[in-house]
Amino acid sequence: MNIILGPKEDRQLITGLHTVADVYCSDCGEELGWKYIKAYEETQKYKEGKCVLEKFKIIKGNG
């Protein structure tokens, strides 16, 4: 799966403040989820660099 990242922005999520970037399909441009760029709380640092992809937005292709 090839993805592109949107601009970075700070979001207040349930687990605290994070800098994230939306993740998009590079083929169709559909928003698929987000990538954690920075976690401001020490207990959430493990998320940095990881992506959350919403399963219902991902479909199996023919290739």
Q: What is the pLDDT along the chain (63 residues), one digit of tens a residue?
A: 689 999 999 999 999 999 999 999 998 899 999 999 999 999 999 999 999 998 877 777 665
What is the model's pLDDT at position 63? 57
User: What is the pLDDT at residue 19?
Assistant: 98
Joined together, the tokens standing for residue 37 give 């760029």
Lateral strand order in the sheet of 51-53: 3-13, 16-25, 31-39, 51-53
Q: Is residue 26 part of a domain?
A: yes
pLDDT of residue 25: 92
Q: Is 58 among the domain residues?
A: no
Which residues lie below 8 Å from residue 15, measured CB to CB, with a gap of 6+? 41, 44
Q: How many CB atoms lie within 10 A of CB 35?
A: 20
Q: What is the total count of domains within the chain?
A: 1
In a domain, 63, yes or no: no
Kindly state whether residue 42 falls inside one of the protein's structural domains.
yes
| Domain residue limits at 20 | 3-51
